[in-house]
């Protein structure tokens, strides 16, 4: 019973550390619980950190998803989530603006997709408006627009799909 309390206290301490704003760089073991517990960047320490990450396998997934445990949230998952939220919140405006091929929300969406040529993006949405929004909800639209962008010679190179 005494051992259970020690483990609980250790886990609570580690969990509370995962929410600190002063995030340190992690070593070869990657982000996760191991990078919070083991901060030394020597080989033996990184092996231990990797072992901790492996033993608690869901901790890296949780860290990557939530941006805790020294995991950054500036990756593909974060950008994808931002795009999804934006489309859901601005769907009605995107329907109108893409029909016109211009507009503030459409430009902001092109920016979220990291398009270097927002005019080409707006033109694509105008030309493909009926197919992009036919029987589409926000999630379907996001899938359709990325598919159309991947087929377009300019946007497939100038946007991050």
Q: What is the pLDDT of residue 1?
A: 56
Among residues 64, 154, 63, which one has the least CA distance to residue 116? 154
Q: What is the pLDDT of residue 21?
A: 38
Among residues 109, 122, 107, which one has the least CA distance to residue 154? 122
Q: What is the pLDDT of residue 80?
A: 84
Length of the chain: 161
Q: What is the pLDDT of residues 49-70, one digit of tens each?
A: 777 766 766 766 666 666 666 7
How far is the C-alpha of 59 from the C-alpha of 71, rounded, in Å? 10
Cβ neighbors of 70 (< 8 A, separation 6 or more) are 18, 23, 24, 25, 26, 31, 32, 35, 36, 63
Among residues 35, 28, 42, which one has the least CA distance to residue 60? 35
Q: Give the predicted TM-score (pTM) of the model.
A: 0.56
Q: What is the pLDDT of residues 94-141, one digit of tens each?
A: 999 999 999 999 999 999 999 999 999 999 999 999 999 998 799 999
Question: What is the pLDDT confidence band of residue 22, given thresholds at 50, 70 and 90?
Answer: very low
Q: What is the pLDDT of residues 143-157, one digit of tens each?
A: 999 999 999 999 999
Q: What is the pLDDT of residue 62?
A: 67
What would the two tokens of residue 9 be?
């206290």
Q: Which of 9-18, 37-46, 102-111 has the lowest mean pLDDT?
A: 9-18
Cβ neighbors of 117 (< 8 A, separation 6 or more) are 154, 155, 158, 159
| E strand intervals along 22-141 | none
- Tell me if 117 sits within 8 A of 81, measured CB to CB: no
């Amino acid at each position: 019973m005494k051992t259970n309390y020690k483990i609980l206290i250790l886990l609570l301490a580690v969990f509370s550390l995962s929410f600190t704003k002063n995030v340190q760089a992690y070593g070869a073991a990657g982000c996760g619980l191991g990078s919070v517990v083991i901060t030394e960047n020597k080989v033996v320490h990184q092996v231990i950190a990797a072992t901790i990450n492996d033993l608690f396998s869901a901790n890296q997934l949780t860290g990557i998803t939530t941006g805790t445990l020294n995991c950054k949230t500036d990756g593909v998952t974060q950008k994808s989530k931002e795009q999804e939220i934006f489309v859901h919140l601005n769907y009605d405006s995107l329907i109108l603006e893409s029909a016109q091929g211009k507009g503030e929300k459409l430009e902001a969406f092109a920016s979220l997709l990291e398009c270097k040529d927002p005019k080409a993006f707006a033109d694509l949405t105008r030309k493909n408006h009926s197919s992009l929004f036919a029987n589409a909800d926000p999630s379907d639209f996001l899938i359709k627009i990325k598919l159309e962008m991947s087929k377009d010679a300019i946007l497939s190179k100038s946007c991050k799909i």
